[in-house]
Amino acid sequence: MTTTDAVGSRAPQAPWLRALRPYGRADARKAVTQMANTLLPYIALWAVMIATVQAGLPYVVTLLVAIVAAGFLVRIFIFFHDCCHGSFLPSRRANRIFGYLTGILTFTPFEQWRYSHATHHATAANLDRRGTGDVWTMTVEEYRTAPWSKRVAYRVFRHPLVMFGLGPLLSFVISQRFAPKEANRRARYSVAFTNVSLLLILVLGWATIGLRAYLMIQLPVILVAAMMGIWLFYIQHQYPEVYWARDEAWDPVRAAMEGSSYYRLPRWLQWISGNIGLHHIHHLRPTIPNYNLQACYDAVPEVQTVKPLTLSASLQCLGLALYDEDHRRLVRFRDVRTD
């Protein structure tokens, strides 16, 4: 199953939807340009961090550089993400090779993540098909009738310190080192390949700059990048008026236009995040590479009708936790009375 099939199988072919097709063509020149303006600075920042550690400068200097490097790693993850959709490079083989390489840099196994992400696209905003590649979201009624232990677990999971603090560590550093039981052979291979590659990089770092120096650099970079990434994924589908529906009423176009945000960021943050804030367009046509999303938005009036979610407004979404099916919106725990 591809993400295009998953979304397109039930989508009405309105003329404006067909207008998105030309932007789904990969461009090797644009892709190589992005590789150069992202991977080269990322490597340079690693060199700077190594120099700060070896020179014995205060660790805060290394951490400040690590934050910048983490931003570039988020952008690298967007390239990885596009490779999973087969959209970053014109060649399917090139997407797979570059996807594996960027997956190593981002601690994410290519085939396994590609499968779970395809499932996310096929089931986004579908209340009857939650659970794979999405943020755990309970309805108000489910929460009310859940056992006390499950309500406590859900509250802990939804706490910002857990979701955006402990969550990045568990997700990117630990849980992605293991293949789920339902994973096929290719997905298991990608997990093993990524793990072995990371181990070899660790050994190389140990043999060259020392294990302590390597961990002092790698851990803050991957953790800060993971925090940024999880926040982006969260805000793409977790805001007050977000669309959710039961399977029989689920509409893929509404799931994209009303169930995926247009996260309007300052220009520099939009660059770092690879235009992924234009998430409603991405869900309408997942094969549009990141470097074509803004052009698509500018050219197709229909996608401009989505109300943008600003950076300041997005911070107010932190407390949202439960989907109220009666009022069709996400609400906070304090808005729900339980027995």
Query: Who contacts 132 (Cβ-Cβ below 8 Å, separation ≥6)?
Result: 116, 119, 120, 123
| Residue 258, token pair as written in the block | 């009303």
Helix axis angle, 211-235 to 28-54, nearest 10°: 140
- pTM of structure: 0.94
pLDDT tens digits, one per residue of 92-144: 999 999 999 999 999 999 999 999 999 999 999 999 999 888 999 999 999 99
Query: What are the backbone dihedrals phi and psi of residue 309, each rounded to the nearest 5 degrees, phi first?
Result: -100, 115
Q: Which of 8-12, 59-63, 147-151, 161-165 has the lowest mean pLDDT?
A: 8-12
Structurally, the chain folds into a number of domains equal to 1
pLDDT at 294: 98
pLDDT at 339: 53
Beta-bridged to residue 308, according to DSSP, are 262
What is the rounded distance in angstroms from the CA atom of residue 228 to the CA atom of residue 222? 10
Vertex 45, ends 39 and 47: CA angle to 5°?
Answer: 105
pLDDT at 6: 33
pLDDT at 206: 97
| Residue 292, token pair as written in the block | 């074509």
3-state helix, strand, coil in the chain (%, to 5): 65, 5, 25
Is residue 3 over pLDDT 80? no
What is the rounded distance in angstroms from the CA atom of residue 46 to the CA atom of residue 169? 20
Is residue 12 over pLDDT 70? no
Q: Could you list the residue range(s) of the whole structural domain that residue 280 is in?
A: 3-335
DSSP states of 239-288: STT---B-GGG--HHHHHHTTS-EEE--HHHHHHTTTTTBHHHHHH-TTS
pLDDT at 14: 82
Range 29-55 average pLDDT: 98
Beta-bridged to residue 332, according to DSSP, are 320
pLDDT level of residue 13 (50, 70, 90 thresholds): low
| Residue 103, token pair as written in the block | 């997956």
pLDDT tens digits, one per residue of 180-215: 988 999 999 999 999 999 999 999 999 999 999 999
Is residue 11 over pLDDT 70? no
